[in-house]
Structure 1
């Protein structure tokens, strides 16, 4: 769908930062700079409105509460302001995390949402900010299917499949080449609609590593954590010869904690059946995340648990593709 009535939401990030005595920090005033730049060099862009979200954030400080506030701002732009497309300006450190979280918080959104940012502020010489900003506006104007996307360095990426791979290159984001396959959910319960509120949830992401201490995992799980993304080796293996680890996982799952496995490998996906070490983890209640990225796994787990679903329902929807996170051929 071509967008002619856009909302630009500014949440902070490098794109609008200014130098302070302590380094770059979020700053107001981006709308005026954007309109002045458009008047100088860019004609024929669609009508857009601008909303500065408060407080402006360095995205390194992004929290679940901020994700919920971003989702509320998008809903307001669409349902109350009548916008047919939304551009969200966001810091790059957690840009992929927010794109993934919003992909699941805004299931069924009837318009496209693009997230972008910059590696250098608009005030810096040679900044990538203007290319990303005006490129995203033109991409929305040209037409795009409803859904959540990340736009960066002339590339349109799926919101639930993108990751940041570089700390300084202009082409910092990409979709990881992971195997994605599985059944697609043809419909969702009303509780997962983009109009439904969510609540913050205590979650954790943990990578397995040689010498992994299961007693630390137990302490974490006994501290009110409702869901864990466990980053396993390869196709879903871990220290299955550690009886304490298996016991901790079984106990947590029996208490209702959702345990989701993803691969540490950039090209990886979970297949517990390949190795005995993987099948033993699965037998303790660890659920396969397929080829989902860390960002997608965390965002999806948050959206499902935050909707108030119980363990069995969360595991059911985790196993299905909701918006293209588990299937490359799924329309967003």
Structure 2
């Protein structure tokens, strides 16, 4: 890929820029000066030219929400179209980094500019911190050339934005591209309303895991809360308590009222295939769409992008079943 020589560094907050307070680590502004000072202390790193933008206020990524995703997407579009940036590096907290990477993967479909996202497990300046290695490593990767699309860079690894996940908190090597089976027909042409230049609206969504003993009333409470889409985390290959007539009826009624239902597997290497077990087939008959091997983060981000574009239930279900950016296929 062509080298990216002018980069926007988009700072959203997160551990990488946090500073100690009486209450513990807190998001802090002023990270651009710290970045320039660190770079000046270590010249000759083969880095691109960069400019800095801070989304205010900087946040702990545990507080990340759809409005923040839309603000990031707006800033990235502006950097690509109006500021002439050849790449964007997003600095982000690790708690929801994989969620944001997945959401932006679908919000920025077709963007010609590569986007890398990174953060750190320890704040910049802390003993043994991974902050500068991740940040400068990501800048060098952009400088040498990265394919368009959204990527996650962490601990020296470049990962697909819609296939990565956070594995733990005890190691600096906290992220991996999850080894789920991937399949799905690739969408050949995207409709204009899914293009990265199109705006999105916030939309009420929910994620609900199935578990032994879940009651229909509990699921119905989620479905009746005003949501427009549900990511249902099923067992194994897409099964659940299909002999619970009330639970099945709750799903069917929600689907009949226009709620989009997408099924994913709870297993770290799981893949939904409704045709294997009768229990899975009964759930599919309620209107569930198979998410294949999509992660929770990818399924939620894709559902947000499709429903936020104003698509109908039928249109959303159609595009959920197709691969849009590599979330379902290599």
TM-score bin, normalised by smaller chain: over 0.9
Aligned counterparts, 1:144-155, within 5 A: 144-155=146-157
In the superposition, the TM-score normalised over structure 1's length comes to: 0.98
Aligned equivalents of 1:212, 1:99: Cα separation in 2? 31
1:257 maps to what in 2?
259
Alpha-carbon offset, residue 45 of structure 1: 1.2
Alpha-carbon offset, residue 176 of structure 1: 1.1
Aligned equivalents of 1:80, 1:308: Cα separation in 2? 26
Aligned counterparts, 1:1-332, within 5 A: 1-43=2-44, 44-328=46-330
Alpha-carbon offset, residue 168 of structure 1: 2.7
Contiguous gaps of at least 5 residues in structure 1: none
Q: Which moved more, 1:61-70 or 1:219-228?
A: 219-228
Q: Which moved more, 1:221-230 or 1:298-307?
A: 221-230
Contiguous gaps of at least 5 residues in structure 2: none
Aligned equivalents of 1:47, 1:326: Cα separation in 2? 35
Aligned equivalents of 2:247, 2:115: Cα separation in 1? 41
Aligned equivalents of 2:71, 2:54: Cα separation in 1? 12
Alpha-carbon offset, residue 40 of structure 1: 1.4
Aligned equivalents of 1:22, 1:268: Cα separation in 2? 40
Q: Deviations along 1:257-298, whole A, 9 cap, x unmatched?
A: 000000000010000010000000001101100000000000
Alpha-carbon offset, residue 123 of structure 1: 1.8
Q: Deviations along 1:19-53, whole A, 9 cap, x unmatched?
A: 00000000012111111111111323111000111
Aligned equivalents of 2:208, 2:221: Cα separation in 1? 13
Alpha-carbon offset, residue 213 of structure 1: 1.2
Alpha-carbon offset, residue 137 of structure 1: 0.2
Aligned equivalents of 1:308, 1:42: Cα separation in 2? 48
Instruction: Specify whether residues 42 and 244 from structure 1 end up closer, same or farther in structure 2 by C-alpha distance, changes over 3 A only.
Output: farther
What RMSD over aligned residues (CA atoms) do the two structures have, in Å?
0.7
Aligned equivalents of 1:80, 1:142: Cα separation in 2? 23
Aligned equivalents of 2:7, 2:107: Cα separation in 1? 20
Alpha-carbon offset, residue 220 of structure 1: 1.8
Runs ≥4 residues deviating over 4 A? none
In the superposition, the TM-score normalised over structure 2's length comes to: 0.98
Aligned residues: 328
Q: Deviations along 1:188-209, whole A, 9 cap, x unmatched?
A: 1111011101000000000000
